[in-house]
Amino acid sequence: MKKIFAKALCFVLAFSLIFCFAACTGSTTGENSADDAVYKIGICQFSQHAALDEATEGFKAALKQKLGDKVVFDYQNASGENTNTTTICSKFVSDGVDLILANSTASLTAAASATSEIPVVGTSITDYASALGFDEWTGVTGYNVTGVSDIAPLDKQAQVVREIVPDAKTVGILYCSTESNSKYQADTIIPYFEAMGLTVKIYTFVDVNDIFSLVTTASQECDVIYTPTDNQVAAIAGAVNNVLESAGIPLVAGDTGTCKLAGVAVAGIDYYDTGFVAGEMAYEILVNGANPAEMEIRTASVITKMYVPERCEFLGITAPEDYVDINAES
């Protein structure tokens, strides 16, 4: 009887060990190993225009290149409404995404407010310090946010204005006053213009419905218009161009997307490339365990002076020899 009990006890112990081993190694049905992980990325893009679209595509391409079918994207467009970015990012948090791409300043502030745990990578953002409310900036956020800046050196943008319209005496700066990045760029570039002897006039708007009358006024008072990277201007660049071309006034843009639609020249960056770099940063966070709190904000490494041949010809502008055709850079 004792021998039978001992054999039964051994059988039970052996079965228990096998079950525990299977559970610990993740071999039971329904469990995935790390190699089987599929990462879910929430993409919050503020509005639909060329620069933001290119950044999103670059981001997705980088992760697809590295992860293949082990990454899925939940792309959401806020249609230019700040309240929509808040709703989108809150939904990403409730859905438990693995990472959020914040494509624009409004998207970044919404994502940073929505979560302190899910990693947030930004792109198409000019000044992270202003966007996140830092008084002192060290290059890292210290929490779950990092990313890539789209700022091109503003002294080079000022040079473009002078080189493209060398006889200009008055430059108008056009931007949406509710976009902190735009105000930062405008405030920063003014001293460069003034050092060149240019008179500066500021034209700001809140409601895009005011843009027609505002640009009409600017075209009557200025020799050239400059607009920084501004989502609202980019979204209505076609309307801006219609007014300025009719008045014979050139616009120098802060980003390539706006320049293609309304400008004559730009000292620009490649938004696809900035998105791609953001994707590489996301990979480091997701797969290699990099801490976004310690990842320095990266900046564009290549700045190219570009011009729009057909618009320059229409306005009688001759671009310097070191400027390249913006269509060749597309």
Give pLDDT, residue 329. Answer: 60
Tens-digit pLDDT profile for residues 64-90? 999 999 999 999 999 999 999 999 999
Tens-digit pLDDT profile for residues 264-286? 999 988 889 999 999 999 999 99
Tell me: do 72 and 214 sit in the same domain: no
Does 165 score more than 60 pLDDT?
yes
296, containing H or E segment: none
Tell me: do 172 and 188 sit in the same domain: yes
Give pLDDT, residue 10. Answer: 46
Tell me: do 183 and 309 sit in the same domain: yes
Which residue is listed with tokens 């419905």? Answer: 209
Give pLDDT, residue 30. Answer: 35
**In whole angstroms, what is the distance from residue 310 CA to residue 265 CA?**
11
Tell me: do 276 and 238 sit in the same domain: no
Lowest-confidence range among 83-97, 120-134, 165-179?
120-134
Does 231 score more than 60 pLDDT?
yes
User: Does 105 map to a domain?
Assistant: yes
Give pLDDT, residue 209. Answer: 86
Give pLDDT, residue 35. Answer: 62
User: Does 143 map to a domain?
Assistant: yes
User: Does 8 map to a domain?
Assistant: no
pLDDT grade for 19, boundaries at 50, 70 and 90: very low
Tell me: do 99 and 112 sit in the same domain: yes
pLDDT grade for 11, boundaries at 50, 70 and 90: very low
Tell me: do 42 and 124 sit in the same domain: yes
In terms of C-beta density within 10 A (0-12 exposed, 13-18 middle, 19 or more buried), how is residue 204 classed?
middle
Percent of the chain surpassing pLDDT 90: 73
Structure tokens at 53: 């679209």
Does 14 score more than 80 pLDDT?
no
CA torsion angle 71 116 84 52 (round to 10)? -50
pLDDT grade for 2, boundaries at 50, 70 and 90: very low
Percent of the chain surpassing pLDDT 70: 88
User: Does 53 map to a domain?
Assistant: yes
Give pLDDT, residue 153. Answer: 84
Give the total residue count for the chain: 330
Tell me: do 114 and 128 sit in the same domain: yes
Lowest-confidence range among 39-48, 106-115, 128-137, 156-165?
128-137
**In whole angstroms, what is the distance from residue 43 CA to residue 282 CA?**
12
b/e map 38-54, b = 16+ CB within 10 Å? ebebbbbbbbebbbbbb
User: Does 194 map to a domain?
Assistant: yes
Cα torsion angle, 237, 238, 243, 245, sign: positive
Does 143 score more than 70 pLDDT?
yes
User: Does 6 map to a domain?
Assistant: no
Tell me: do 131 and 179 sit in the same domain: no
- Residue 177 one-letter amino acid: S
List the strands of the sheet with 99-103, edge to edge: 71-77, 39-45, 99-103, 120-125, 145-149
**In whole angstroms, what is the distance from residue 321 CA to residue 6 CA?**
93
3-state secondary structure of 298: strand
Structure tokens at 191: 């001293």
Does 149 score more than 50 pLDDT?
yes
224: CATH: 3.40.50.2300
User: Does 28 map to a domain?
Assistant: no
Q: What are phi and psi of 48, to 5 degrees?
A: -105, 105
96, containing H or E segment: none
44 strand-pairing partners: 76, 102
Tell me: do 191 and 222 sit in the same domain: yes
Tell me: do 111 and 186 sit in the same domain: no
pLDDT grade for 27, boundaries at 50, 70 and 90: very low
125 strand-pairing partners: 149
Domain count of the fold of the chain: 2
User: Does 63 map to a domain?
Assistant: yes
Tell me: do 122 and 50 sit in the same domain: yes
| Domain range enclosing 119 | 38-150+271-294
Query: Alpha helices of 153-287 — where are they, by DSSP H?
Result: 154-164, 180-195, 211-221, 231-235, 237-247, 256-262, 271-286
Count CB-CB contacts under 10 A for residue 77: 19
Tell me: do 110 and 202 sit in the same domain: no
Does 192 score more than 50 pLDDT?
yes
Look at strands 251-253 and 304-307 and give their pairing: unpaired
Q: What are phi and psi of 35, to 5 degrees?
A: -65, -20
Which residue is listed with tokens 């190993």? Answer: 33
